[in-house]
Structure 1
Amino acid sequence: MSETASELEELRAALAAAEGRAAVAEADLAQARAVVSTSEAMIAALKLEIALLKRDKYGRSAERAARLIDQLELQLEELVADAAEDKAQAEQAAEKTTTVAGFDRRKPVKKAFPDHLPRERVVVEAPTACTCCGSGRIVKMGEDITETLEVIPRQWKVIQTVREKFTCRACEKISQPPAPFHPVPRGWAGPSLLAMIIFEKYGQHQPLNRQAERYTREGVELSLSTLADQVGAVTALLEPLQALIEAHVLAAERLHGDDTTVPLLARGGTKTARLWTYVRDDRPFSGTAPPAVVFKFSRDRAGEHPFGHLRGWQGILQADAYAGYNQLYQSDRSPGSVLPSLCWSHARRKFFELADVEGNIRKGKSPKDISPIAFEAVKRIDALFEIERNIKGLGPTARLEARQRLSMPLVEDLERWLRGERAKLSKHAKVAKAIDYLMSPAHWPGFTRFLEDGRVCLTNNAAERSLRGVALGRKSWLFAGSERGGQRAAAMYTLIGTAKLNDIDPQAWLAEVIARISEMPVSQLPELLPWNWKQPADRPAEAA
C-alpha cells in the first residue's frame, strides 16, 4: 500500500508539473500574441500618421487619398482593439503563473483632458494607521491624481420665468413685468434647443422623426409636427443673416461652383433635384476676405438655374465643364460675361480611371488593360499639382510668376504631346475621350486660365468639399419632402457650411444668433456673421 501511495504522489506531482508547464506555455503564447498585436497597432498608427502628414504637406494629391486615410483609421481602430483584448488575455494568463517574463507595451501618449471641463474630486478614504507597522503616527506627504473622463446623460430642464403682479392701493392699477422673450412667435423652445434641432437635422443629417424618437426615449415627448413648426420658424428668423452671407459671396471676383443630386419627393416616388453650391474662398492666394458658401435648390439641372443664381455677378467661375454654365459665358451677357476656369482634377480623373492599376485589378481586369498614354498623362498632370502645392498661400503676383516660369512650359509640352497621341487614336478609344475632354477648343482656354491669373486655383475642390456633407446626408434623410423643403435645406446648409469654413462651432453660433437676432437692428446684423462672432468662452480671456 505504501508503494502505491508513493506512486500516486509521484503521479500527482508529475501532473501538477505538467499543468504548470502548460500554464506557462499558455501565458507565453498569450503574451506573444499581445506583443504581435501591439506591434501591428503601432505600425498601423505610424502608417496613418505618415498619410496624414503627407496630406497636410502636399494636399489631396491622389484620387484615393481620403479613402486611404479612412481605411487606415478603421484598420488602426480594429488593431488597437485587438491589442487591448490580447493584453487583457495575457494578464489573465499571467495571473496563473509567476514564472512568465513580462513585456513592455508601448502605450500611446494620452492627451490631457480639456481644461474647460468641470472636475469632480473624489478622495479615496485615507488609512488611519500605517499599513506596515500599524502605527497611527502617519502624516500626509502628497497625493496622486488619476483622471477619468465620464459623461452625464443629456439633462432636460424647464425654465420657469415668474412674473409677479402688484396692485397699487392708491390707484388700484396692476403692474407686472413684460413676458419673457422667445426667439420665435408663440415659441416654447429656448435658443439652445432650437439650435440643436436645426444642427442635428442639417449638420448631422438626423431627420426630425429620428430626433423625436430619441427625445421620447429621454423622457421628453415632442411630436414631429411640433419640431417641424420650429424648424420653419427658425428658417424665417435667420433669413436676413442668410441674405448677408449670399451678398458677401457674390461680392467676390472669383467663385467655385458645383452641384449634386438631391432626391425630391414626387407623386409616385422621387425625382432627381439639384443642390447648387457657390464658394468664396480667397485663402489659397492669401486673400483677406472671410470664406463663405451659398447653397441653392432647384427641381432640375437646367442651365437657367446657375444663370439666375449668378444674375448680376461678373468674375471668374471655377467649375466643371457642364454645359449649363454656358449662358454665363456669353459675350452679350449683362453686366458682362463670366470667365470660365475649369478643374484639372476632373480632367485628371478621366485619365486616372484608365491608369489605376490597383483599381483595375480589383475589378478583375488584367494589368495589360492599363493605358500607357493615360498613365503618362497622370504623371504629367501631377507635376502641375506639385507646383501648386509649393505656391499655395502666396499672393496672386507671386503665384502667377511661378506658374509662368514653371507650369507654362509643362502645359505647353503636355498640349503638344496629347495632340500628337490623339492623332494616332481612334475616336472610339477610351483614352481619346479623356484627351478630347481636356483638349477641346471650348475647354482648353478654361483649363489654362490659371496661367493668366494668380487668383485662380488649379482645381474646383473647394466646391466639392462643400458638397461632401450633402452626399453623406442623402443616406440619412432619403429625400427632400417638397421644393420649399429643399430651399429651406439650402438656406440652413448656407449658414452651417459658412460657420464650418470659418472654423467655429455651428451649433454654438446658431444658439447665440437665434437668441439675439430678433432684438438687433438691421445695421448691427453683420456682428452675427460667423467671421465676426467669437465664442463666449473666448470673450473673458480677451477682456482680461
Structure 2
Amino acid sequence: MSDATDELPDDLASALTLLAEARTRRITAEAEAATAKAQAASAKALVSHSEALIARLKLEIEKVRRELYGSRSERKARLLEQMERSSRNWRLTLEKTNWRQRLRPKPRRSGLSSASVHHGNHSLNICRASVSLSRPRRAALVAVRGKLSKLGEDITETLEVIPRQWKVIQTVREKFTCRECEKITQPPAPFHVTPRGFAGPSLLAMILFEKFAQHQPLNRQSERYAREGIDLSLSTLANQVGACAAALKPIHSLIEAHVLAAERLHGDDTTVPILAKGKTDTGRVWTYARDDQPVRRAIAARGSLLCFARSTTRASRAPLEDLHRHSAG
C-alpha cells in the first residue's frame, strides 16, 4: 500500500501528465478494439459472400450437368471443368479464411454466458412460446446470504399441441328499403363451394384430404367429429364429397386431357382397400404420367402433371377403356 502511495505524483502538473497518458492508452485500446471488430465483420462478410458464391456455382454446375445429360459437347465440358475449378478455388479461400479465424486469439468475454438449450428432434419452423422462471424458490435461498447475480440460463423445450377449434362464421346481410319506390335491397349471400351448402372451403378440403390422402372413411370422420361436438352425419359428408367431386370435374378433365395427349405414357396401378357391404374389397388406382424426357423445355413451359383413374380389377380392360375414351373424344 505504501509503494502504491509513493508512486503517486505530488504536484498537479505531474498528476495531469499521468492522467493524459492514461487517457491516451485508453483511446489507443479502444481504437485497437474497434479495428479488430471491423476486421472480424469484414472476414464474416467475406465468408458469407464466399458461401453464397459457392452455392451459386454448385447450382450452375448441376444445371450444366443436366444439359450434358442429353447431347454432350466439348464446349459444355470445358465450361463445366472451368466452373468446378472456380468453385474449388473459392472453397480453398474459404477454408484459409476459417483457419485464420480459428488461429486468431479470441477476446475474453465478460458478462453472461450463452444459454444451453435442451430439446428433442423438433422442427425449427414450429412456433415457440417462452416461459421465464426468473426467481428461485425460497427453499433454495436458505443457504444464500449475499446478493444474487445471474450466471446464465438453461432452456428446456416441451412439445405441445393446440387442439383443433371449430367456429361458425355469421355473415350478417342487412336489408334496406326505399320509401319512395318501395324497393328492398340486400347484399348477396356469401359464396359456398357446394350448392346451398354450409361448409367452408377449409372444412371441405380437410374432409377430402382425410378421405383420399389419409384413407379415413367418412363413417370414421363422422364419429370423430361427433366426439368433438360437431354433428356431421355420414350422408351429409357423402353429399359434400360428391358435390366437391362435381365441382372439381372440369379441372380433372383438363388434367386428363393434358396427360393423355402425350405421345408416350407411363402407367401403373396401386391396390387400395375399398369398404363394401359386410366386407372389404381391393380396388386399383391407375396412375398415368407423361413421358416427355427429350423435350424438357416443353415440360417446363406447359408443366408436368399426373392423372389418376380407378378400377376394380387389374385387367387391361380398364386402362384400355380410358385410352380409347380419350382418343375417341
Between the aligned partners of 2:201 and 2:292, the Cα distance in structure 1 is 32
Aligned counterparts, 1:19-418, within 5 A: 110-111=120-121, 113-115=123-125, 117-127=126-136, 131=141, 133-135=144-146, 137-138=147-148, 143-168=153-178, 171-260=181-270, 274-280=284-290, 288-289=299-300, 290-300=303-313, 303-311=316-324
Between the aligned partners of 1:151 and 1:273, the Cα distance in structure 2 is 36
The structure in which a higher percent of residues are helix is 1
Between the aligned partners of 2:159 and 2:122, the Cα distance in structure 1 is 10
Would you say the 8 A contact 1:200–1:206 is kept in 2? yes
Would you say the 8 A contact 1:184–1:234 is kept in 2? yes
- Which structure has more RCO (C-alpha within 8 Å, separation ≥ 6)? 1
Between the aligned partners of 2:173 and 2:208, the Cα distance in structure 1 is 30
Aligned counterparts, 1:426-505, within 5 A: none
The alpha-carbon deviation at position 211 of structure 1 amounts to 0.7
The alpha-carbon deviation at position 198 of structure 1 amounts to 0.8
The alpha-carbon deviation at position 184 of structure 1 amounts to 0.8
CA distance 1:156–1:146, shift in 2 (3 Å): same
The alpha-carbon deviation at position 295 of structure 1 amounts to 2.1
Would you say the 8 A contact 1:275–1:298 is kept in 2? yes
CA distance 1:164–1:118, shift in 2 (3 Å): farther
Secondary structure of the equivalent of 2:155? coil
Would you say the 8 A contact 2:176–2:186 is kept in 1? yes
Would you say the 8 A contact 1:274–1:298 is kept in 2? yes
Q: Deviations over 1:502-526 (max 9, x none)?
A: xxxxxxxxxxxxxxxxxxxxxxxxx
Q: Deviations over 1:180-200 (max 9, x none)?
A: 111111111111111111111
TM-score, with length taken from structure 1: 0.33
Q: Which has the larger radius of gyration?
A: 2
TM-score, with length taken from structure 2: 0.51
CA RMSD of aligned residues (A): 3.9
Secondary structure of the equivalent of 2:269? strand
Between the aligned partners of 2:169 and 2:295, the Cα distance in structure 1 is 49
The alpha-carbon deviation at position 264 of structure 1 amounts to 7.1
Between the aligned partners of 1:186 and 1:151, the Cα distance in structure 2 is 35
Q: Give the unaligned 5+ runs of structure 2.
A: 1-117
Would you say the 8 A contact 1:261–1:274 is kept in 2? yes
The alpha-carbon deviation at position 301 of structure 1 amounts to 5.1
The structure in which a higher percent of residues are strand is 2
Would you say the 8 A contact 1:208–1:228 is kept in 2? yes
Q: Deviations over 1:151-194 (max 9, x none)?
A: 11211111112222334455554332211111111111111111
Would you say the 8 A contact 1:255–1:279 is kept in 2? yes
Secondary structure of the equivalent of 1:311? helix
Between the aligned partners of 1:313 and 1:242, the Cα distance in structure 2 is 13
Between the aligned partners of 1:230 and 1:110, the Cα distance in structure 2 is 40
The alpha-carbon deviation at position 313 of structure 1 amounts to 7.7
User: Counterpart of 1:307 in structure 2: which amino acid?
Assistant: L
Match in the other structure for 2:89: none
CA distance 1:143–1:313, shift in 2 (3 Å): same
The alpha-carbon deviation at position 240 of structure 1 amounts to 1.3
Between the aligned partners of 2:316 and 2:137, the Cα distance in structure 1 is 83
User: How many residues align structurally?
Assistant: 206
Q: Identity rate of aligned residues, in percent? A: 61
Match in the other structure for 1:433: none
CA distance 1:260–1:198, shift in 2 (3 Å): same
CA distance 1:307–1:179, shift in 2 (3 Å): same
Secondary structure of the equivalent of 1:310? helix
The alpha-carbon deviation at position 311 of structure 1 amounts to 3.0
Between the aligned partners of 1:276 and 1:151, the Cα distance in structure 2 is 37
